[in-house]
Amino acid sequence: MPTRKVDWSRPLARPIDIGGARKLRTLDDVRTHLLKIPKERQTNAAWQSITRQILDAAQSGETVDLTIPFALARMMRN
């Protein structure tokens, strides 16, 4: 069975407001944002869950709504 190409350009189900006029609209936007957060926060379970979800969505071709998980992860500091 052929593997599906990872598609980071897939849009999110709903854009994620990250403050100011900035919004994350695609899986690539979320991936880029996650890579910019401090390493100690990247190891947080909530951020790791989001990372798994965007990777799964990029591989499966499904649309994902990360609005609530993303907001919860941003509120966590550890």
The model's pLDDT over 22-77, given as tens digits with 9 standing for 90+, comes to 999 998 998 898 888 888 888 888 888 888 888 888 888 887 788 888 777 777 75
> What confidence score (pLDDT) does residue 41 get?
82
Confidence category of residue 2, pLDDT binned at 50, 70, 90: low
DSSP bridge partners of 11: 26
**Residues shown for the chain:** 78
With left for phi above 0 and alpha for psi between -120 and 50, is residue 19 left, alpha or beta? left
Q: What is the pTM of this model?
A: 0.76
Rounded to an integer, the average pLDDT of 11-24 is 88
